[in-house]
Amino acid sequence: MRQINEAHVAAPGLAVVEVAAADDETAFAIRELLAARCAIALADRTTREPGEPGVRLRCFLDLRQEEDRRPVRP
């Protein structure tokens, strides 16, 4: 799994959120909830850790952007 570096949390309003879910569908539903509330670098795939249940999805959030300046989601 990628490490969180200083750039990801270099200023107030920046955050890294890691979602742990039972399946891809649930993880992507959480991603969509986050994207509806703030600017987010959309993760396009989940990861699985050998021997651990479920999937993980890491998202990078920017709470500093105003609602009307959020990137358009596909």
Q: Are 47 and 55 in contact (CB under 8 A)?
A: yes
Per-residue pLDDT of the chain (74 residues; tens, 9 = 90+): 556 565 556 688 888 889 999 999 999 999 999 988 888 887 889 999 999 999 999 988 888 875 545 555 54
Interatomic CA distance for residues 64 and 39, integer angstroms: 8
pTM over 0.85: no
